Amino acid sequence: MALPPEGSKGFLVILGFAFAVEGALYSAVTPILPLLSRQFDMSDTQAGIMLSSYSAGLIAGSLLCVLVLRRINARNAAISALTLLALSSLAFAWAGSYDTALTTRLVQGIAGGATWTACISWLLRLWPNEKRGEALGLAMGPAVVGTVAGPAIGTVAVESGVGIPYTVVAVLCGGAAAWLLRMPRPSIKTDATRAVTAAKSKAPAMFWALVATVSGALIGLVNLAGPMILVGIGAAERTAGIVFVIAAIATVIASRFLGRMVDRKGAARTAAFGLLVMSVALPPFGAGSGIYVTGALVVVLILANNLCYISAGTLLTHEGERAGWSLSFVTALTATVWGIGETAGALLAGIGLDRLGALRTTAGGGVIAASIFAAVTVAAVLIGRTVQPSQKSSIDH
């Protein structure tokens, strides 16, 4: 597909680097939760707060970036956000107390949300609607490269301590900011929507926002419960980190394929499939039936959740624009509802692990996934019945 100069391979590499750095910062904390729990004497509930604080900040950062993009271009917004990400990462690296670590983790989330919104809205403006799933897959691929580096850094931190690995992450953030300085400044566009037919109802967009929220909540559950369950059944902390590295590598390999699958099969159908897989896999995941089985289920759950997120993000951005919302707003909304879901999911998972145990907590997640699967299945049927054949492709995608 021919892209304008902004959309050259060099541009994609630079944005991909920014996505990767942000993804690394998000995911690096997962393998070191048991280490941080010992270092700061955290309960499972406090561990959930620590994990979800990044997503809580992401919500504020994403919405703030919508306002910022009205006044400065996407390049400068991304550079500023990455610089803040570097500084907050350095502070987190050498935090001496739970409160300091939690505060700097929250600031990381604010900067990460602004980075994601600036970069992804810049990217989506270059892609046609019918290939939006592929565009989101392209964005998710580098982001998950970061999630490969993140658990790897976290696994190293289990042995060496948090300071040096997170300092490396801070340097990567600074490198990404410096790299973006080489890009030409894009114009500051008004948030006009694409030339699509305006929809009177915002209900479809809100429905897919709900699906994205649930997807975020389920990954929050998996990210928090996974290391705890693995360590609880006898795995070394390093082994728990390796499991998440394997899951991230699998997602890197699959991301673009999943994006194309969304475009070809229809986002509603692929969202339903991802939710179905999660509803089936979550209960045995919580049962902790051996290190290998549990590790394999972590990989399956993360892949299924990635498919669900790409599908929901594709439909949310499309239906949001049809409802008259700007592209930067629906991009921020996608990150925001994901952050709300991940925040709630990690918090509730921490409370559930404390009070109910792993099996009941993950089984509850399975029930939620099954319920949303049923709703998405009905939505997919209604799309097929109510949309004219000439319009069906654009709605599905």
Residue 237: closest CA among 38, 23, 94, 27:
38
pLDDT value of residue 264 = 84
> What pLDDT is recorded for position 389?
37
Residue 7 has pLDDT above 60, yes or no: no
Is the pLDDT at 395 greater than 60? The verdict is no
- Residue 340 token pair: 């709300």
Q: CA 164, 170, 172 angle in degrees (round to 5)?
A: 110
Q: Would you give the distance in Å from CA 85 to the centre of its chain?
A: 17
What are the tens digits of pLDDT across the range 345-381?
A: 878 888 888 888 888 888 898 999 999 899 888 877 7
Please name the residues in contact with 155: beta carbons below 8 A apart, sequence gap of 6 or more: 31, 238, 241, 242, 245
In angstroms, the CA 112 to CA 143 distance is 11
- Integer Cα distance of 228 and 329 in angstroms: 36
CB atoms near residue 256 (< 10 Å): 16
pLDDT digit string (tens) for 175-213?
A: 878 877 877 666 555 444 444 444 456 888 888 889 989
Higher per-residue pLDDT: 84 or 255: 84
| Residue 386 scores a pLDDT above 70 | no
What's the chain's average pLDDT?
A: 78
pLDDT tier at 10, thresholds 50, 70, 90:
low
pLDDT greater at residue 140 or residue 46: 46
List all residues 6 or more positions away from 303 whose beta carbon is below 8 Å from its beta carbon: 247, 250, 251, 254, 258
pTM: 0.74
Tokens of 9: 């391979």
Percent of the residues in the chain that have a pLDDT greater than 90, as a whole number: 8
Distances (CA, A) of 276 to 279, 361, 375: 5, 18, 11
Read off the pLDDT of residues 100-131 as tens digits, 9 standing for 90 and up.
989 999 999 899 888 888 888 777 776 766 77
Residue 276 predicted with pLDDT over 70: yes
